[in-house]
Amino acid sequence: MPTGVHLRDVRKQLFDAAARVLLRDGPNALTSRAVTAEADVAKGVLHRHFTDFDAFLAELVTDRITRLADQAALLQASAGTRTVAENLVDALTEVFNPLSLALTSLVFSRDELRNRLRRTGDGLPLLVEAREMLAGYLAAEREQGRIAVDADVDSLALSLIGAGHLLFAGRRRGTLPEDTELAGLVDTIIADVIQRRLL
């Protein structure tokens, strides 16, 4: 089997195992031993493919950030369809799915990991990219006249990410907010820019 294919298979196996450990036991339980045991591979396998455990975790989070970029493209394409609130509710539900929440907690709790992932000195990786995704979408809606022409999309995106994170992360593991609760939060944050588009 070609080495490149084999490497990708091992990486995926390890990433999937890490995701299961995170979801089941939380960020504090995520160790190299827990990952290799969950993946049912020898302990040395992880260190043959990654320089250290933080490098493994950085690639795990980067993989999620890449998926977020794909989601951003889909969200951008949805500008002008359905309602702005519906699009934002769906985006936040995906941004704060259980695995993303667990990865955000992991990044928050590990200084070395956070430092490896930061593009700039500001913001928490994953949440920074999520905020950029929402700001880009809101800018597209502003161009289409579906929100106020002077809407501060960066501040709106920051408010949506901050409030959304609190709403999703403040719950018991495995539980999600009610659809009406999330929709009410989104409606409240964007109400002014939706109303003023008509003025």
If you count DSSP H runs as helices and E runs as strands, how many of each does the chain have, helices first? 10, 0
- 8 A C-beta contact, residue 135 and residue 145: no
Express each pLDDT in 11-25 by its tens digit.
Answer: 899 999 999 999 999
What is the mean predicted confidence (pLDDT) over 35-60? Answer: 92
Instruction: Report pLDDT for 94.
Output: 92
Length of the chain: 199
pTM of the model: 0.87
Question: Per residue in 53-104, pLDDT tens?
Answer: 999 999 999 999 999 999 999 999 999 999 999 999 999 999 999 999 999 9
Intervals of CATH 1.10.357 along the chain: 61-196
Q: Which fold has domain 61-196?
A: Tetracycline Repressor; domain 2 (1.10.357)
Is it the case that residue 47 has pLDDT exceeding 90? no
User: What average pLDDT does the segment 128-151 reach?
Assistant: 96
CATH topology assigned to domain 1-49: Arc Repressor Mutant, subunit A (1.10.10)
Instruction: Look at 34 and 119; give whichever has higher pLDDT.
Output: 34
- Write phi, then psi, for 79 (nearest 5 degrees): -55, 130
Cα–Cα distance for residue pair 159/55, rounded to 1 Å: 31
